[in-house]
Amino acid sequence: MILIGLGANLPSAAGPPAATLAAALVALEAAGVAVERRSSWYRSAPLPADDQPWYVNAVVAVRTGLGPAELLALLHRIEADFGRRRMRRNEPRVLDLDLLDYHGLVRQEAPVLPHPRLHERAFVLLPLEAVAPQWRHPLTGAGLAELIAALPPGQRAERL
């Protein structure tokens, strides 16, 4: 299973964050990446906590013939097409597309897989539970219930 996390907290030419995420899914499909399952939209507080706008997030399961590096390059191209400019870490963004897992592959070189911080983020784990409830972390073997229970305190993510 290939899993991609989506997030946005600034408007783009496509509209507010939820509209941007929907348009990004259309762009993925147009590039030949089949979206097989999608979570609900979630509203989440920024991490680390600050005064930027809250995010809209989701997780999708996709099918593609692209390898992990090619898929990540496509995700970055789509982000750029929507106006994403990478200036600093944890900045507000019009679109964020993260390769979370690629068929359980474990890699230490780019792209690092699974995504190195996915287990620390409610805005990833909660929508992931809706898309792939039986998913287990490829490095630790932990299931989603265990990962969600171990989340750091204070994270806020709610289904829209």
Q: Which residues of 1-14 are buried (b: 16+ CB within 10 A; e: fewer)?
A: bbbbbbbbbbebeb
Please provide the DSSP assignment of the chain as one string.
-EEEEEEE-S-BTTBSHHHHHHHHHHHHHHTT-EEEEEPPPEEE--SS--SSPPEEEEEEEEE-S--HHHHHHHHHHHHHHTT----STT---S-EEEEEEETT--BSSSSPBS-TTGGG-HHHHHHHHHH-TT-B-TTT--BHHHHHHTSPTT--EEE-
In this structure, which amino acid lies at residue 40? S
Positions annotated as catalytic residues are 84, 93, 96, 98
Enumerate long-range contacts of 20-26, CB under 8 Å, 24 or more apart.
20/82, 20/94, 20/95, 21/56, 21/58, 21/95, 23/82, 24/78, 24/82, 24/95, 24/97, 25/60
At 47-77, the pLDDT tens digits run 877 889 999 999 999 999 999 999 999 999 9
Domains of the chain: 2-159 (3.30.70.560)
At 2-51, the pLDDT tens digits run 999 999 999 999 999 999 999 999 999 999 999 999 999 999 998 877 88
Provide the pLDDT confidence category of residue 141 given band limits of 50, 70 and 90: very high
pTM value? 0.95
